[in-house]
Structure 1
């Protein structure tokens, strides 16, 4: 990118302010605890791949291949994770994925091979699991009185800069902005875009939906499917974001007394908005974060630029669990009780792959990709629970 000197100076000053604010924030310490081989074996014996929709360990091969393709493009000696007591290279991640790939044919008969071949590194700060899914929304590629709410492509005037170049304390942080009258200003937030129509009639509309709440949840999930009037389906994939902080609508509504504190879910949020349409846009605007999309024939695609696998792919904070990493996890799955009421299911232990990220996925929070369909929607709408997670690394001979 090339800027006029005055614009670049303003950008540098703005970045410096951001750095000073970040320096004042204390990053929580995350501990990693290596487990003994016997404890690793105990975890391996508990793994139930049937709860992940798999019939054999061999069914994990395509998902593993996706992670292998991602980490194989990284320098083997490069650092994938360096935090607290743990340093992991991309080469070590790749070796672990290849080892797991080779072990798959033997694991149906003897899952304890995992304990003998892998080190299990536990995340000890009480990881919390939420879930996301691939939503389906009714939409059309042309506007009408029925399909009146636009889904936008990423605007050309949305700019970003990696702040690492200004100070190492800002490693991995990005500033999103636009230029207005020669000045660097934050990009439009949700109210600007949806209420004040700042992006309307600029040729950015890639589709139009029936329901603005559908678009909101599509943005929360990051990708989805458009169900067109003739029954055809079109994938919409994440293209970019406006850079504003994500604010949980469920938390806002709970704190305002609009939702039962014991029943905050995607379903309860949607139900309230449907019954109170006069409050809908004002409530949606409390989340200034906005996501832009692109049309595609395949999806969904994770942060590793590979297809996600239902109940295997996890969105993680790469500063805690590196992208492409092999994981084991234990978490209860939400279940439907009598008359469709939510109830917490029994915990199950599965194999996961860190294949995605998310604006709200920071620290010890993980997002479980539940897939597509009614059951996936139910799980994603109700999972919000503590769990356990272990990073799996190959044993050093």
Structure 2
């Protein structure tokens, strides 16, 4: 950080907290580590899992070991995991020998929490602006400055201020409404055909653009404008357009198609704006916050203030049709809307079918954390 930005960071620390710092609702509530609890449990307390789900979940989590190898909590466990055959018996033996089970509970001592879903969408678009494709997907703005406040105030670890210099003053970066209205000094990676597609792309954090020549451009999260994420579904509820039970991606999209004149108003209700980068095309899943490919059905986004990124979890929930989902999953991603003690967002894969499933996921569920034996728990004190 330059000397001038160090001085600016100090004077704008309060502004950063008010503006959302790292661009998520996480900063608008009490720190989760003050209210979450880990409750010791046994392997017998876990709901039964099929052999196929056991192995698939273990393999998905093990991919993250390439990023956990330098973490002293996980180093020995990850090293040993590499030699485990992908068969149910050795996987069960390894997990039970190496890991201790802890149940996650809320401040109200509730074991149940909200389990939602997300996916990698595919939207029609173009590499050049056309009459049909006129909605820009922006890369990182040239004039956006990111200040890591922990470099000045260690107690603000994880807090980042995003803004623009005007003279010697660092001001908050533009809201989504301003960017949509006036544009931004940033490269345009692609052009989409529908502003709602861009909104859903930002909510998912990654996606693909289907080009006319049959190719697909893969996009991934690069940065964010620093304003807090506010669900557009919440605005529709407040307007009396939908009830809480009705809110889903499909319902929101249907409302937008029926009320095109109000779409700008809807989009303006969420000040957060995500910028993207082009990613190499491949058959693997998009990369989450851990920077490893996400595995459909076995990777989740979590609140990293409660669950350390890279952790192995045991998830028990249901699909929207009520069928059970019980399996180990890797905590390999985060998201501005994923906040809370018992909270996870399950990645379902790529395309419309995954999108239908993810868009309807608003399930209750339980989460257990599998933690290396003999290692100190994360710094999450229990509720008095």
TM-score by length of 1: 0.83
Q: Which of 97, 102, 107 is matched with 1:121 structurally?
A: 102
Once superposed, which parts of structure 1, at least 4 consecutive aligned residues long, lie more than 6 Å away?
A: 19-25
Superposition pairs for residues 1-397 of structure 1, below 5 Å? 1-4=1-4, 8-16=6-14, 18=16, 26-27=30-31, 28-36=34-42, 40-43=43-46, 46-48=48-50, 50=52, 57=55, 59-60=56-57, 63-72=60-69, 74=70, 90-107=71-88, 111=92, 114-125=95-106, 126-195=112-181, 197-199=182-184, 202=185, 204-298=187-281, 300-335=286-321, 345-364=322-341, 365-396=343-374
Aligned equivalents of 1:143, 1:169: Cα separation in 2: 45
Counterpart secondary structure, 1:279: helix
Q: 1:247 to 1:222 in 2, by over 3 A?
A: same
Change (3 A) 1:140 1:375: same
Contact 1:96 1:392 in 2 (8 A): no
- Cα pair distance change 1:110/1:92, threshold 3 Å: closer
Q: Which digits, 9 at most, give the CA deviation of each residue in 1:319-358, with x for residues without a partner?
A: 21111111111111113xxxxxxxxx13321110011111
* 5+ residue gaps, structure 1: 75-89, 336-344
Classify the secondary structure of the residue corresponding to 1:272: helix
Output the CA distance in 2 between the equivalents of 1:304 and 1:258: 37
Q: Over the residues paired in the alignment, what is the CA RMSD in angstroms?
A: 2.7
TM-score (norm. length: structure 2): 0.85
Q: Deviations over 1:274-329 (max 9, x none)?
A: 11000001111100100011112235111111111111111112221111111111
Aligned-residue offset at 1:32: 0.4
SS state of the match for residue 164, structure 1?
A: helix
Q: Alpha carbons of 1:203 and 1:9: their partners in 2 closer, same or farther (altered >3 Å)?
A: closer
CA 1:17–1:280 in structure 2 vs 1: closer, same or farther (change >3 Å)?
Answer: closer
Mapped partners of 1:319, 1:136: distance in 2: 31
Q: Structure 2: 5+ residue runs without aligned partners?
A: 21-26, 107-111, 376-384
- 1:91 partner SS: coil
Cα distance, 1:214–1:16 mapped onto 2, change above 3 Å: closer
